[in-house]
């Protein structure tokens, strides 16, 4: 009976406002590289419009996975399939949690810029996004995933802990 339920859910259409599970880590890393480039460009050019675009992308990915995010669609449908790397499937919930943190940071940056006019704080937060997105894209270190695992292990949030997400040594060893 369990296999019938699993196969029935596998063939049903996903809800529009859902997040994929599992996710292709290659596509995640390409998306992170795009975020890093956009955030860096926002900081260098001091263009607050890019903060809004980054915030939209994070919010769209949290709400509907890649469906509403032009950057994630480009990563999942165009770039990742053309990479010579074998797709590497990882747990979706930690990645969604990390996207939620990105949404919080990027929305905060946009609000800081347009609200009280704290331009330096807004672009400093964008600089932090550059660092975190670069860690994800270049080194496979998802700080949001690590925080997710830490919170799950302490019972603060209810979710499935991803052993691969929580063990940074697996990624650092793969880099060498």
Going by C-alpha positions, the residue among 169, 170, 167, 172 that lies closest to residue 145 is 167
Question: Are residues 148 and 159 in contact, defined by beta-carbon separation less than 8 angstroms?
Answer: yes
pLDDT beyond 80 at 167: no
Is residue 2's pLDDT more than 50? no
Give the residue carrying structure tokens 């890093």: 36
Closest CA to 58 of 106, 125, 109, 110: 106
pLDDT band for position 42 (cuts 50, 70, 90)? very high
The per-residue pLDDT for range 79-111, each reduced to its tens digit, is: 999 999 999 999 999 999 999 999 999 999 999
Assess contact for 89 and 25: CB atoms under 8 A: yes
pLDDT digits (tens, 9 = 90+) for 136-158: 999 999 999 999 999 998 999 98
| Mean pLDDT of the region 32-56 | 98
Which position has the higher pLDDT, 174 or 132? Answer: 132
How far apart are alpha carbons 145 and 167 in whole angstroms? 10
Q: Is 155 left (phi over 0), alpha (psi -120 to 50) or beta?
A: left
The helix/strand/coil state of 21 is coil
- Contact 35/102 with Cβ under 8 angstroms? yes
| CA-closest candidate to residue 139, choices 101, 94, 170 | 170
């Amino acid at each position: 009976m369990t296999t019938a339920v699993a196969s029935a859910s596998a063939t049903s259409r996903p809800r529009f406002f859902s997040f994929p599970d599992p996710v292709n880590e290659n596509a995640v890393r390409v998306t992170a590289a795009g975020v890093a480039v956009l955030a860096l460009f926002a900081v260098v050019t001091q263009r607050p419009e890019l903060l809004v675009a980054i915030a939209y992308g994070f919010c769209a990915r949290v709400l509907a996975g890649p469906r509403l995010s032009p950057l994630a669609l480009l990563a999942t449908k165009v770039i990742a399939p053309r990479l010579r790397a074998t797709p590497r499937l990882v747990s979706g919930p930690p990645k969604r949690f990390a996207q939620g943190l990105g949404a919080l940071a990027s929305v905060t940056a946009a609000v800081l810029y347009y609200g009280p006019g704290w331009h330096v704080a807004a672009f400093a937060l964008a600089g932090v996004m550059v660092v975190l997105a670069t860690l994800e894209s270049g080194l496979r270190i998802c700080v949001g995933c690590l925080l997710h695992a830490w919170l799950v292990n302490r019972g603060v949030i209810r979710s499935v802990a991803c052993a691969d997400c929580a063990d940074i040594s697996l990624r650092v060893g793969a880099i060498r």
